[in-house]
Chains A and B, each alone.
Chain A
Amino acid sequence: MTDQELFTQVGIREEKASAAAVKSKRSLPIFSIAVLVLIILGCLLADVIATKDPAYLDLMNYTKAPNGEFLFGTDTLGRDIFSCIWHGGRVSLFIGFFATLISTTIAVVYGSISGISSDWVDTAMMRVTEIFLSVPGLLVILFIQAILGDATVVSLSVVIGITSWYSIAKVIRTEVRQIRKSEYVIASQCMGGSFLHVLWHHLAPNFISAIMFMVVMNVRSAIASESTLSFMGMGLPLDVISWGSMLSLSERALMTKAWWIILIPGFFLVVLLVCLTNIGNWLRQTANRKESNL
């Protein structure tokens, strides 16, 4: 071995491969975002895209396979699935976002109060969330739903919302507890900053990146919960069209070998959930990276 060969081995090792891997992990999930935007746009423009009335029961054309007139076919009640997808998507997405709005609001308020309170109040509040967390969410939803009676879109969102805030609240509480003794929070309180001022200007900017991915995941779970419930016949009734209630027809559809009735809403649902998961994971990675940059 010559000297030169020896020396070339020494030095900073090239890390091209790992850098590329990191980059692919970090890069924006453009495809997922694009698909999500398409689905949302489609639902918003449902009246333009889907000219058929989704609620109209076309008894002459029930359980028709996809064809020129009915792009995605019709279901066992004779409803046009193409229209149902876009109109029903509105309901599914609305439930997803509205339930998340409710749960995030509760989580921010509860988590911040718990984080900023004295030790024993904090402990008590965290025990309460642990008790809630230990009960399966679906069970609680079913229970409340049974009390409330017939489900509507709003009541279902509220029920899903008030049963899915615990983990976000816990994360917020931990973050708040870390920063509440920091001097800039004390300084702000010293200058007369109220709880809301401190929460908004000092605490929220710090925990928002930490909970962003949980919020997106919450949208995903809310949509999944709605579908599960409706699929089991305990969520939205058949006449309120959502992707979940469309799936609840699957039992009858399977008997007639009408695959489109179950596969098409199922496909849209899965694609939506996968997109949200990808975006959520990307948000989590960015949040982690920011933390390690500090």
Chain B
Amino acid sequence: MDNAIVTVKNLTHRFRLSKKTVIKAVDDISFTIQKGEIFGLVGESGSGKSTVARCIMNIYQPTAGEILFHDVNTCDKTAFRQNRKLLQTARQLIFQDSASSLNQRMKVADIIAEPMKINHITPPRGSYREEAAFQLRYVGMDENYLDKYPSEMSGGQRQRVAIARALSMEPELLVADEPIASLDVSIQAQIVNLFKHLQKEHGFSILFIAHDLAMVEYLCDRIGVMYRGKLVELAETAELFAHPLHPYTQMLLSAIPYPDPIRERNRPRMNTEDMIFDTEGTFREIRPNHFVLTKEAAL
């Protein structure tokens, strides 16, 4: 396991809302992301996925635990300061809400070129504008959009601009917080294929956060399942889909629609709303490379 690009150890993050109420958004989770891997993080709304992403990106300071990027402990203030340049260029985040992650008063060309300008990177393709046009084409949009403002574009186009901005830095690690949730199916496929391409051709490591299990199955090498701030199950994609061990994972998988009507109709359904799952127990390797949060030693 020394090929890890990100190592998350016992990460806990609490939001203090007032003196008495504290929300445990992320509770003692550990996982690694390997170099060149697409790691999927799934879970219901409010399970703490975005909080994990933001801790990894140093937007939130974790309450406890540590996060290593290569060998740098990013939660440590002095280590962060010493490696600031590396951390700020080699990791890029695509925000969940593309509308608010783009400045409404800036044109697309300036938005995409912003990280390059901040980090004084000489654009490999001549000018910043050329570079922005290139990145825009890369995410499937044409140059006519360079002079548009975010408010003049659709949600899917904005999301692709946000992706283009992140890609312009050619990061080692791309943290994508539900990057395709607001896109229609054909664009979703296009973006997912783009991610696959980035991983294969350029060796990007990607933390991919999603609701949609079907896309995750196609895209990710390994998947972590989060439930109420806990990581309840972690396994390689094929293994997870073949042998879901945690009841919450089983429920999630049972909710995937299949394009086969007969199979779809005969399938047992579970009422997803009132189910409450155990978040007690320890994280154990039940099968090879398959970890589950459980109380018993064997399932």
Contact = CB atoms under 8 A, between A and B. Distances in A.
Nearest to A193: B118
A182 B97 CA distance: 11
B58 interface: yes
Interface string A172-208: 0000000000111011101111100100011001100
Contacts of A197: 118
Contact of A191 (B100, B106, B169): B169
Given A190-B58, A191-B88, A192-B84, A183 B115 contact: no
A230 B77 CA distance: 55
B106 to A, nearest CB: 7
Contacts of A205: 103, 105
B95 A183 contact: yes
A191 B119 contact: yes
Nearest to B102: A184
A192 B119 contact: yes
Given A183-B95, A186-B59, A201-B106, A192 B100 contact: no
B272 interface: no
A176 to B, nearest CB: 14
B58, B101, B119: most-surrounded residue (chain A CB, <10 A): B101
Contact of B101 (A187, A194, A294): A187
B235 interface: no
B114 A190 contact: no
A71 to B, nearest CB: 49
A184 B119 contact: no
B85 A192 contact: yes
A184 B101 contact: yes
Interface string B87-107: 011001101010011111110
B93 A190 contact: yes
Nearest to B89: A192
Given A190-B59, A190-B93, A206-B105, A184 B118 contact: no
B139 interface: no
Contact of A202 (B88, B103, B119, B169): B103
B93 A192 contact: no
A198 to B, nearest CB: 10
Given A188-B118, A192-B118, A182 B100 contact: yes
Given A183-B95, A184-B102, A190 B118 contact: no
B57 interface: yes
Interface string B2-28: 000000000000000000000000000
B115 A191 contact: yes
A187 B84 CA distance: 15
A190 B88 contact: yes
B203 to A, nearest CB: 21
Interface of A: 182-184, 186-188, 190-194, 197, 201-202, 205-206, 294
